A and B are shown apart, each in its own frame.
Chain A
Amino acid sequence: MTIHAQACAVPSTSSPDGVLRQRGQREVFCGLTGIVWLHRKIQDAFFLVVGSRTCAHLIQSAAGVMIFAEPRFATAIMEERDLAGLVDANDELDRIVAQLLARRPDIKLLFLVGSCPSEVIKLDLSRAALRLSQRFAPGVRVLNYSGSGIETTFTQGEDACLASLVPVLPVADRASGPSLLVVGALADVVEDQFRRIFVSLGIDQVAFLPPRRSSELPAIGLETRVLLAQPFLGDTARALEERGCRRIAAPFPLGGEGTALWLAAAADAFGVSRAHVDRTLAPLQARAERALARYRAQLAGRRVFLFPDSQIEIPLARFLAREIGMELVEVGTPYLHREHLASELKLLPQGVLLSEGQDVERQLDRCRAARPDLVVCGLGLANPLEAEGLTTKWSIELIFTPIQGFEQAGDLAELFARPLLRQTRLAV
């Protein structure tokens, strides 16, 4: 089949801020996908999607390559009779939750996860969660959030999940003084590193959201300062602010520079002296820079094109441009949260083409026309672009890999160097 590419795509909306906004087919995941990593982070939680067979199929196609003796997610599949109103959807849901909890007595936290079908027919899962919480208290807490594609894109599922946790976080004892809450699921090893650094900076009261177990929910209050570890946490941040927590503005902890700025912003908020911050962070940042040097040699000057996927693209592009010396062709993001990304946008090189939203065919036209050295994109596009002779880095891996912090800066760069190195190695 011949592809009749438009010679030169014209931005459909070029806004005064220079961000290209296009609407059309979006080649992205829905928020349900967040379950794939969240179920591993919160070990005693279970995720019950209320949706269709499509939703069930999505999750198992993503996670089902692993073989589970005891999976921690499932779908309550709506059937014809649920839609026709022949059965009360709430009774059905209660029955299924009872069945599930009988089978898995180890579950302490159950998320009812909304989907497109459940949102379209306006099934009230928040009331169901309340009702079921009462019924199964105190052993099991039942919460609800939406991971539907019509409302959430990929990592926004984590945002919605964490935001649903905020109302049930305990109230911090006022006497306990200021505390730091780091928000966003991080790899366990990264979390441990950050905790050690915060302690050496003199910030002792540090908690992480989400916790590893539902019994370890952090307490929050007016003295809680929030540090976002991920850029896609708009609703969670708002919910925390509504409970009186204050957000610390910072770039995100990707790369040596990003991590140093992120930690320094927290230290500033806690009144740690500049000198102590520099003394603590300088050797760590220097080590990160040593680790990056090797990859800088391989990647500097290479042109990279980022398709929208997770909202991590802008911090990533900042890292790739400033610390690795890559040239940015286009930086796509599914959603641009101007306030949370303000510190990042300031650090981006001038004149970078930012795009928010997607018309995938036209974006592919731009990508093909630019012939970048590396394309960061989802798995639906990666192999087809490789077959066209472009080198790709599949973007989902950036969510599944420890990439934050000083010690991972080299690993993060390596993720981008690897596909290019592979190109040079393969002789077939």
Chain B
Amino acid sequence: MQLSVWTYEGPPHIGAMRIATAMRDVHYVLHAPQGDTYADLLFTMIERRDRRPPVTYTTFQARDLGGDTADLLQSAVRAAYDRFQPQAMLVGASCTAELIQDDPGGLAQALKLPIPVIPLELPAYQRKENWGASETFYRIVRALAASSANGSPRRPREAGARPVCNLLGPTALGFRHRDDLAEVTRQVVELGIEINVVAPWNATPADLARLPQADFNIVLYPEIAATAAQWLQRQFGQPSTRTIPIGVTATREFIAEVAALAGVDASPVLARSESRLPWYSRSVDSTYLTGKRVFIFGDATHAVAAARVATQELGFEVVGLGTYAREFAREIREAAAIYGVEPVITDDYLEVEARVSELRPELVLGTQMERHIAKRLGIPCAVISAPCHVQDFPARYSPQMGFEGANVLFDTWVHPLMMGLEEHLLGMFREDHEFADHAPSHLGAAPARPSEAVRSAEPAAVAVSSAALSWATDAERELTKIPFFVRGKARRNTERFARERNVNLITLETLYDAKAHFGR
């Protein structure tokens, strides 16, 4: 068992629902107990969809377990087919149904419906949401694309014909998938490339059958679409993109990569496309952002992209980088090596919390779950990745990708930080009754003070890490004069400095010696 205060991903059948809900004319029959229909709310409330997800649940109850749950499943499949008349059907089990082992896929196929019925094997006690989405997308692509082209190699494009691509990855309940898709589509169209199929977003099974007709694939979210894209490459020789266009530099590289795959000239597009981020970031108002210590956590794609933007485009210092997606641990390890930090690869919220607490960053870029951590520790925070809640499915255009995405990133990440003038004044005058050091005034009601529990836990934590260390009263008092957002780091550095020199009592002198030693 694993103690999970918050979970970064849902179970794998939620991933399958994200594929089914993103598509049209697909229906998903899910063998699941009463209550698992809560998942509909993810789509109708969090994403605010105006239709019910195309999912029929068997919703068995305790009294059904004594009877024939297999029959229940078959009648649900038949009723769903009769009512919704989909072009293809997905059939699978949720975690509880997995325990009763009815073999939903086999039972559904035995009904011999006149449409493709795709069984899903999603091990709910081993795998999670993104894996479920990826596996479902792969299975559905495989089932529908293979039959149409019979595995024959793709015909080379005729001279003069426009290059054609597929856009793979955007799903229902994806973090900013809607607007990323619009942004990337605009970019691709500007390059003079035709889009064959976008999937799974709004695609029908018939659309998936046309996937082999493209020259190459653009993979927006590897967590969802890499497996399917690899299969398409093996089967039809379609190469796919690797660059994720988040941030200005990555977007430029992405455009170059797409252009190369399509055999077109990227330079006109690169010449006219610009983001406001570079100038905003170079303007003197942003100077104080230099070296801000940032902790980054999320799915690997967004975390790696964010680390690059943070360091190269905003001038932050990455002090921690991690992901909850073990499938993408390698990508995070490689990136962490670039920034010289220890990668955090865990789906344990408490472990992430412990790491943030230890590193004391000035900004956390994470998921909805890191907002809980940041509130507890009183650190500014912005969301860069799923899991996210209703406020991260905004009405306004807010991509993460492309040049407009970079504009959004600049605003979003800088917003929770205390603004420059206030930060300076707080560093100078510490007894103001209105402006407190933990509460940026431009946020109105600002991040809460670290809770009582944390404050009382803090000295204990210090005592554990530094058994023989103590602080002289005047040094402790001096520490409170250091601005709030760097105080944790100053405390850590001073204690490290003292330990390395076998100093047991930290005095004013030790504090300033350590400051001279480490810099800010």
Contact = CB atoms under 8 A, between A and B. Distances in A.
Interface of A: 1-5, 24-33, 50, 52-54, 56-58, 60-62, 64-65, 67-71, 74-80, 82-83, 89, 92-93, 95-96, 99-100, 103, 106, 116-117, 119-121, 148-151, 153, 361, 378-384, 386-387
A26 B24 CA distance: 23
A177 B89 CA distance: 65
A28 B40 CA distance: 10
11 contacts: A3-B83, A33-B38, A53-B10, A56-B6, A67-B372, A69-B375, A71-B5, A83-B125, A92-B1, A117-B95, A151-B62
B451 A69 contact: yes
Contact of B48 (A30, A119, A383): A383
Contacts of B372: 67-69, 71
B482 interface: no
Interface in B419-454: 448, 451, 453-454
Contact of A25 (B7, B57, B82): B57
Interface string B29-55: 000011111101110111011111010
Interface string B75-98: 010010011111000000011100
In the A-B complex, list the 10 residue pairs whose CB atoms are closest, starting with the nearest.
A30-B35, A149-B35, A380-B40, A387-B50, A52-B95, A116-B96, A57-B10, A69-B376, A92-B1, A150-B62
Given A1-B24, A26-B34, A150-B34, 11 more contacts: A3-B83, A33-B35, A54-B13, A61-B38, A64-B6, A71-B372, A74-B4, A76-B2, A82-B125, A150-B33, A384-B52
B7 A120 contact: no
Contacts of A3: 83-84
Contact of A61 (B46, B48, B453): B46
Contacts of B25: 1
Contacts of A31: 35
Nearest to A334: B34
B454 A69 contact: yes
B139 interface: no
Contacts of B4: 53, 56, 74-77
A89 B99 CA distance: 16
Given A56-B4, A149-B36, A25 B95 contact: no
A76 B65 CA distance: 24
B453 A27 contact: no
Among B24, B36, B54, chain A packs the most CB atoms within 10 A around the CB of B36
A379 B10 contact: no
Interface of B: 1-7, 9-11, 13-14, 24-25, 33-38, 40-42, 44-46, 48-52, 54, 56-62, 64-65, 76, 79, 82-86, 94-96, 99-100, 123-126, 128, 350, 368, 371-372, 375-376, 387, 389-391, 448, 451, 453-454
A29 B38 contact: yes
A99 to B, nearest CB: 6
A319 to B, nearest CB: 26
Contacts of B37: 25-28, 380
A32 B38 CA distance: 11
A381 B41 CA distance: 8
Contacts of B390: 65
A77 B49 CA distance: 29
A93 B14 CA distance: 26
Given A120-B96, A380-B41, A69 B448 contact: yes
Given A3-B83, A32-B35, A150-B33, A68 B125 contact: no
Contact of B371 (A67, A103, A148, A387): A67
A60 B46 CA distance: 12
A380 B3 contact: no
Nearest to A73: B5
A30 B83 contact: no
Among B1, B25, B51, B65, chain A packs the most CB atoms within 10 A around the CB of B1
Contact of A89 (B1, B448, B451): B1
A417 to B, nearest CB: 22
Nearest to A383: B44
B128 A53 contact: yes
Nearest to A56: B7
B232 to A, nearest CB: 26
